[in-house]
Amino acid sequence: MFNDRSSALELLKTRRSGRPRDLVAPGPGAEELRQILEIAARSPDHGKLQPWRFVHVPRNRREALAALLQRAYRIDNPRPGRLEVEATDRFAMQAPELVVALFSPKPSPKIPLWEQQLSCGAACMNLLLAAHAMGYAAGWVTGWAAYSDIVRDAFGAEPERIAGFIFLGTPGSELEERLRPSYEDVVGEWQG
């Protein structure tokens, strides 16, 4: 059991998302990334189905990812403007490290799809928390590419879906705190 509760709680209170475009080197090294992903896999998983997978996209494959994104984008947008092309390329090249999280549902008579989706989200959150605990920032984003069958097929196959692109690195600027809901707005007491 973790003995330094106050440190763990303070760490959790300081987690913020990093904008992928603002994440710079250094990112986690190979061993750190392995630890981050092993921690991500320690998520609630009713039935031990592992309804998620992670695919690391190393720096030397980012140009190939940019080309894939360009092909996929042009299916629905055959004549993209210069800014659209540049945005797609920037997406692929940002941040030192990139992990594609896949929701990978498993047939089960006992574990509903909803629980499997929650498990995938928990795995992604554990990934973000592990990166934060190691001193990195992470940004979990979706966007059009997460819903593209062409992009999904490059990483998996039906019935899988891209749960998100998780970019990791060092914050290039101070992470912004966003407005959080008030306790009273999100917590109630059952009067049953």
| DSSP-assigned letters across all residues of 77-107 | -SS--HHHHHHHHHHHH-SSEEEEEEE----
Every domain of the chain and the residues it spans: 18-172
pLDDT digits (tens, 9 = 90+) for 83-109: 999 999 999 999 999 999 999 999 999
Pairing of strands 161-171, 52-57: unpaired
Q: How confident is the model at residue 138 (pLDDT cuts 50, 70, 90)?
A: very high
Residues 120 and 102: their CA atoms lie apart, in Å, by 8
Q: pTM of the entire structure? A: 0.94
CB 22 within 8 A of CB 93: no
Model pLDDT for residues 146-184, shown as the tens digit of each residue: 999 999 999 999 999 999 999 999 999 999 888 999 999
DSSP state of 151: H
CB 134 within 8 A of CB 32: yes
CA dihedral 42→44→49→55, nearest 10 degrees, is -50
The CATH code belonging to domain 18-172 is 3.40.109.10
